Amino acid sequence: MKGKTKGVQAQLLTINPRALFVPCGEHTLNLVVANVAESSPDASGYFGNLQKLFTVFSATIQRWTVLKNRVDMSLKSLSETRWESCIRAIKAVRYQTMQVRKTLLDLRNQVTEPVTSTESQSRAEEVGSYRFLICTVLWYDILCQLQVSKLLQSTTMQLDVAMSLLKNTKAFLVRYRDSRFVSAQTSAKDICEEMKSRLC
């Protein structure tokens, strides 16, 4: 549609040469985050594991009911285009890791199908791993900052306010890279140690 030779942009420019194409700021921000996630093997692996975790529980009503009885926040499926919605997918794992892992271990012992039992065991090991937990903490912190993309969609958003919001988001990410990464590592380590002491 935005093609400058035959698309809507070209047709609008024939009517009004000053009708310049301006890409949607919210969509552009989503594309940036998508490219970052795709460029990192750890990030793409993490989101793949998160989706598999959702799939294990959503495969049957019984499994979903068991999960809902133990976890206050529901797991969500991932969206490839709207990265701020991934916050909901990560939130349950971020704040109720132990309950999710315990449910997977119980599911492993309750099911009769070997494939489901193996998958539950595999997901439980993944959720309990330091690598998964550090990704959970990091991506939750980062995606919470990207809720600015919702504000960019507002019909009353002004350009100077949008620029200020984006500058603040960039400043947060720079600070996070420089100093807060250590606190994310500590949080992931604390979750690991708590799980080992309670579940082992």
Query: pLDDT tens across 86-99, in order?
Result: 787 788 889 988 89
Token output for 91: 């939130």
Mean pLDDT across 132-161: 82
The span from the CA of 63 to the CA of 21, in Å, is: 48
Q: Residue 85: its pLDDT value, please?
A: 67
C-beta of residue 134 within 8 angstroms of C-beta of residue 184: yes
The pLDDT > 90 percentage for the chain reads 6
Residue 6 scores a pLDDT above 80: no
On average, the pLDDT of the chain sits at 82
The span from the CA of 105 to the CA of 83, in Å, is: 29
Q: The dihedral of CA 45, 47, 53, 57: what is its sign?
A: negative
DSSP secondary structure letter of residue 4: S
Q: Which residues of 116-146 are buried (b: 16+ CB within 10 A; e: fewer)?
A: beebbeebbebbbeeebbbbbbbbbbbbebb
Mean pLDDT highest for which of 85-89, 128-132, 141-145? 128-132
DSSP secondary structure letter of residue 85: G
C-beta of residue 104 within 8 angstroms of C-beta of residue 56: yes
